[in-house]
Amino acid sequence: MTAKGQITLVHLYPREMSIYGDLGNTRCLAARIRRHGYDCVVHDHHPGMPWPEQAHLLMGGGGQDSGQSRVQDDLEVNADRLRGLAADGVPMVMICGMYQMFGHAFITHDGVELPGLGILDVTTRGQSTRMIGGIVLDTDFGQVVGFENHSGATVLGAGQAPFGRVVVGHGNNGTDGTEGARTHNVIGSYLHGPILPANPAVADALIAAAAELATGRPFEPEPLDDSLAEQARTRQIARLRKPS
């Protein structure tokens, strides 16, 4: 089957920002893009590297405070480019530490302020206790399940939509019932897991936007067998929602 087009997937800082298995999101996206009949080029972007000629889909994972500090300068170098890509509708999924860096700032528990890109209208402050555990959300993509581990408590700006509403778990800050943030095709979330393999509806929404940008044509999905992913998702949700 000739490819329906070629999608370039950019993984931001896989060495510094990919704890808790978030590399799995990149592998999931690449595999699903190819199973849908598109070619996929995966570009690992490391600090100081030139930006690729094409970028149709971006993934960024979680990291320790120290990892976030190590990528801060490169984020600043690429800030206008990333803001422009987001404004142009390029789909992005930013997890935990990278979610925080896509907001206005992440102020660590020690008081170190890491300025963010402001692509998402959120601000994060590190807490003395960490928010850790399984998490279930109600989202526009149905119920989504994952795992969270963060000190950062994130507050949404007045007009900022969340990614989802917490059913089980802490979410952005453990108090307002929101999780993550979503603006157009940019999703920020605290969900590790990695989030995408067990939540294929989210993965395919990102891929659909990327395919339309890459080809100039509507997304042409293949009927994929997601029975295993669906079992992984529903069983995790059932386990987390069971009264303890």
Q: How far is the CB of 72 from ligand GLN (least distance, A)?
A: 12
Strand 181-183 relative to strand 113-115, pairing: unpaired
Amino acid at residue number 53:
E
Tell me if 150 contacts ligand GLN by CB under 6 A: yes
User: Which of 5, 91, 103, 152 touches ligand GLN (CB under 6 A)?
Assistant: 152
**Residue 198 contacts residue 232 (beta carbons within 8 Å):** yes
Tell me if 149 contacts ligand GLN by CB under 6 A: yes
**Residue 205 contacts residue 212 (beta carbons within 8 Å):** no
CA distance 128 to 73: 26
**Residue 107 contacts residue 124 (beta carbons within 8 Å):** yes
**Catalytic annotation present for 192:** yes
Peptide bond connecting 194 to the previous residue in cis, omega within 30 degrees of 0:
yes
Q: How many residues does the chain have?
A: 244
Comparison of 4 and 150: residue with beta carbon closer to ligand GLN: 150
**Catalytic annotation present for 96:** yes
Tell me if 146 contacts ligand GLN by CB under 6 A: no
Comparison of 173 and 185: residue with beta carbon closer to ligand GLN: 173
Catalytic: which of 11, 56, 96, 170? 96
**Residue 190 contacts residue 150 (beta carbons within 8 Å):** yes
Q: How far is the CB of 27 from ligand GLN (least distance, A)?
A: 18
Size of the site for ligand GLN (CB under 6 A): 13
Comparison of 132 and 228: residue with beta carbon closer to ligand GLN: 132
Give the relative orientation of helices 23-35 and 200-215 as an angle to the nearest 10 degrees.
60
Binding piece for ligand GLN, criterion CB under 6 A, among 2-10, 38-46, 81-89, 144-152: 144-152
Catalytic residue list: 96, 192
